[in-house]
Amino acid sequence: MISDLAFLLIGTLFYILFFYSFLLKNKTPFFITCLFLIIAHDFIFINLSFFASKTTTYILKAWQEYLFLFLLLIFLYNKNKIQKQVFSIFIIIIFLSIYGFFISILTSQDLLNTILSWRSYLLPIMIPCLLYINNGFKNVSIKTLITTLSVVLFVLIIYAKYQTFLFDMSGGQNLTFLKGDFRANARRAMSGSLWFYDFFGDDHLIPRWFNMIRDNKLRATSIFVSPIIFAQFLGVLGSIFLAYYHRGIKKRKYLILIIVLIALYGVLLSQVRAGFVYFAITFLAIYVFKKFKQNYILLVLVPLTFVFITFFGLIFFKLGDSSSVGRLNQYVDLINNFKIFGYGLGARRAIVYYDSLIISTMMAFGVFSFLYFKVHFTLLKSIFKIEKSQVRGDSINFLGLGLLGSFSAFIYFIFFHYSIGSTPLRFLYFVAFYFMYKIYEDDS
């Protein structure tokens, strides 16, 4: 009880300072805190749950909801003007929120699941959108972003390497599937190296040991709860630094190249094959943009080509493991169980039921799911137009190039991974709106 009260007092003070930092002329402290909360959300609040009660943890982890209400009140009070493309995104998110709740109520979905689903689908887009509208990125330099991301990358890789060291020290490298006391040995190795093991427990992780172990090596997660999330986040960081390498000052290129290679090393530690595909698509998307600047559709065709190759390999050659091949059945399920008006945000089919953002979204919103995808293409098209017309130096435009690569790569990922509400996607939205605001700020 005393510890819960202490956590609540500390948390309240933190949020007061957090919201106050938004009111400052220079938004840098607010910006860095936002980045910290987005990237380390799971790490912070899962660890908090080990010491605080469930109620206290729920109260403190709702920072996104608090920030949303805070920004909405400021928006309603100030009545700021909104640019056309941002306004269209804002209206779509409001419509999908109302529609998703309406269908969930009609189909008697659980209210808590509906709120949590909305929190994953729509809140990660709404918050940076409101930050843009309310000048939440004002006076935040690109140097601040790059310096912060460089530090974040090094911390993530060091911790991931530490995880693999702990796994080997716990005897993980000697594991043999279904030989000896495999369950006990796997538990000892994973619990000693995965910081979230006790949170999910034996019954969840042991049956899914292959998600964390491959070829007697740990699939590192760093501060995230999944090697896939870790690899995707490194993909976004890698996209930004790869673009920085392409458009950076010559004397910095070797340093930036080292940073890109460090990100690739992190993907190697995660042992996520799709992570290397992410880098490949990003590289090709950047190349295509630099070679052909006339149509952003080319940036869509690059990942769709990879999607076609993947489906072709899965169908005709059974490439990949059983998990990869099993994804085909989920698309058959989409055809058999699709509803025109969807199942609603709170439906089980909309929440971590399928290994695909596309399938999950179509199950949630039905025919209106095209609006959800339209938001992403609006961001992609807006950034493309900005980059196409840029004549400024390397101080900002490289970021747009990196975002084009990331959005292009995510088009591939949404076919085969449930990325809704994940840290990489929330981070990508945040940086995308930051970039658009900086261009608007520079032009004003």
- Give domain status of residue 428, yes or no: yes
Q: Are residues 65 and 119 in contact, defined by beta-carbon separation less than 8 angstroms?
A: yes
Specify if 112 maps to a domain.
Answer: no
Give the chain's largest Cα–Cα span: 68
State mean pLDDT over 250-270.
Answer: 88
Is residue 99 within 8 Å of residue 337, measured between CB atoms? no
Least confident of 48-52, 75-79, 113-117: 75-79
Please give the mean pLDDT across all residues of the chain. 86
Question: Is residue 26 included in any domain, yes or no?
Answer: no
- Dist CA 399 CA 288 (whole Å): 16
Whole-structure pTM value:
0.91
Q: Does residue 23 have a pLDDT over 70?
A: yes
Over the stretch 32-68, which tens digit does the pLDDT of each residue have?
999 999 999 999 999 999 999 999 999 999 999 999 9
Which carries the bigger pLDDT value, residue 295 or residue 349?
349
Q: What is the pLDDT of residues 337-381, one digit of tens each?
A: 999 999 999 888 888 778 889 999 999 999 999 999 999 988 988
- Whether 87 maps to a domain, the answer reads no
Residue entry with tokens 């908090």: 48
Whose tokens are 């709740």? That residue is: 101
**Who's near 312: CB < 8 A, 6+ residues apart?**
none
Q: Does 328 reside within a domain? A: yes
Q: What is the pLDDT of residue 191?
A: 79
Q: Is the pLDDT of residue 117 over 60?
A: yes
Q: Is residue 248 part of a domain?
A: yes
Domain of residue 210, residue span = 142-443
pLDDT tens digits, residue range 378-417? 898 888 888 777 654 446 778 888 999 999 999 998 888 8
Query: What pLDDT is stored for residue 105 in this prediction?
Result: 92
The reported pLDDT for the residue numbered 1 is 63
On whether residue 22 sits in a domain, the answer given is no
Q: Structurally, how many domains does the chain consist of?
A: 1
Torsion of CA 66, 72, 74, 76, to 10 degrees: -150
Asked if pLDDT for residue 431 goes beyond 90, the answer is yes
Average pLDDT of the residues in 192-204? 80
**Mean pLDDT of the 288-314 span:** 82
Name the band, by pLDDT with cuts 50, 70 and 90, for residue 217. confident
Q: Which of 38, 223, 31 is nearest to 143 (CA)?
A: 31
pLDDT > 90 fraction of the chain, expressed in percent and rounded: 47
With tokens 């909305």, the residue in question is 118
Higher pLDDT, 1 or 30: 30
The CA distance from 380 to 397, in Å, is 14
DSSP H or E run through 214: strand 213-214
Q: How far is CA 135 from CA 71, 346, 384, in A?
A: 10, 33, 22
What pLDDT shows up at residue 417?
Answer: 83
In a domain, 17, yes or no: no
